[in-house]
Structure 1
């Protein structure tokens, strides 16, 4: 299974502000920039992924041990996919130590901003892995649709053991707890559908405009 070990040169300031729940200028721009800059040095970004055939009628990923997907939204999302890519990414465990240290020492603002920057960082790693995957799928005549993670819609996180097994996530240090949370905490698993380039199907991306959670602190106005 391919291992992705990218450099993290910057962390998105706008996304960090959003993940921190700052719809207005609650904190100074300098404080946010400082957290993003520190995250560049703290993060240990890694990813792993694998491609599988997919039965879009039965919703089964054709692995050595078949993986049946459960949930109407994920099945609809992949309804035109002939293959899928399962991926795992992490920003590493150093981050959690630094965040906990800041909260323990009473630096709550910086700890909160580091946590938000870490969320932005792991999403950037996943974005970069997607672009890296394009090199492999384009010669096969496929296009990728946007990634879908356990916990979105009605796709339950109880599938995490399968996701980690099928992406060899242990090779990059990702495990799961009894409550199906990932460790290190700033880690993500996802599935990407591969649709024939000739198929016009494009699933609608989730957005704040279509989300029913009107009071979400991360909502983009």
Structure 2
């Protein structure tokens, strides 16, 4: 089981604003958003784990020791040319939610909401890091990566979370799932990544709202963009 442990050096300010619903509030105080990102950086403990499996694309089955059949047309269509898949899990730890809860309790409501958005951004950045690691590892084996797809996207039911945690060995990084199928710690994600042979005419697509199968998503306001230098948290500003 490959583990992914890394330090977060920055949190994307633009993405934090997007998750906080501030895209239509350009005059909102940037200083407060940066403060929220800084507070999350102090307490985040980013960790990830993942495993690679052969994949039966014709039947939508992950060929684990106990086969895992994917339910839902969107995810199976997304992986229709994959020969292998990676099941991944990512978290930034329990301290993050404890700190956010403390800020709410202390009446710092605006900061707490922004910290929650920054924590969501941080989880996605850690997941991005795993994708980059996958690119490096599997490019030499003749594969390109399709962007990650998580339970709850499209028509892929979240009832599969228990199997996702099992197949990614997420317990090794402290992740679990509640009876209501919520991941713990709360700022965590699971996802599946398809590996397609380079000879296939489908290249790895950049993660983008353009390709997301959930058109009614509240965050579908702009495509994913690379980090912009002046929008990265800078301790000197």
Partner of 1:133: 134
Gaps of 5+ in 2: 224-237
Partner of 2:197: 196
Question: What is the distance in 2 between the residues matched to 1:107 and 1:50?
Answer: 40
Partner of 1:219: 221
Given that 2:7 and 2:46 are in contact with CA atoms closer than 8 Å, whether structure 1 keeps it comes out as yes
Is the counterpart of residue 20 in structure 1 residue 23 in structure 2?
Answer: no
Partner of 1:11: 11
Q: How many equivalent pairs are there?
A: 220
Given that 1:208 and 1:219 are in contact with CA atoms closer than 8 Å, whether structure 2 keeps it comes out as no
Question: What is the distance in 2 between the residues matched to 1:13 and 1:134?
Answer: 25
- Tell me how large the CA RMSD over aligned residues is: 1.9
Q: Residue by residue, what CA displacement relative to the aligned partner does 1:119-141 show, whole Å, maximum 9, x if unpaired?
A: 00000000001101222211211
Three-state SS of the structure 1 residue aligned to 2:54 is strand
Shift of residue 213, structure 1, vs aligned partner? 2.5
Three-state SS of the structure 1 residue aligned to 2:186 is coil
The change in CA–CA distance for 1:131 and 1:185 in structure 2 (over 3 A counts) is: same
Three-state SS of the structure 1 residue aligned to 2:189 is strand
Deviates most, 102-111 or 17-26: 17-26
Given that 1:87 and 1:191 are in contact with CA atoms closer than 8 Å, whether structure 2 keeps it comes out as yes
TM-score of the two chains, using structure 1 as the length reference: 0.94
The change in CA–CA distance for 1:92 and 1:71 in structure 2 (over 3 A counts) is: same
Question: What is the distance in 2 between the residues matched to 1:161 and 1:209?
Answer: 26
TM-score of the two chains, using structure 2 as the length reference: 0.88
Gaps of 5+ in 1: none
Q: Residue by residue, what CA displacement relative to the aligned partner does 1:12-64 show, whole Å, maximum 9, x if unpaired?
A: 00000000011213630000001111111110000000100000001100001
Question: What is the distance in 2 between the residues matched to 1:129 and 1:212?
Answer: 25
Three-state SS of the structure 2 residue aligned to 1:198 is coil
Query: Which one of 195, 207, 212 corresponds to residue 209 of structure 2?
Result: 207
Given that 1:144 and 1:193 are in contact with CA atoms closer than 8 Å, whether structure 2 keeps it comes out as yes
Question: What is the distance in 1 between the residues matched to 2:184 and 2:153?
Answer: 19
Question: What is the distance in 2 between the residues matched to 1:183 and 1:68?
Answer: 24
Given that 1:21 and 1:218 are in contact with CA atoms closer than 8 Å, whether structure 2 keeps it comes out as no
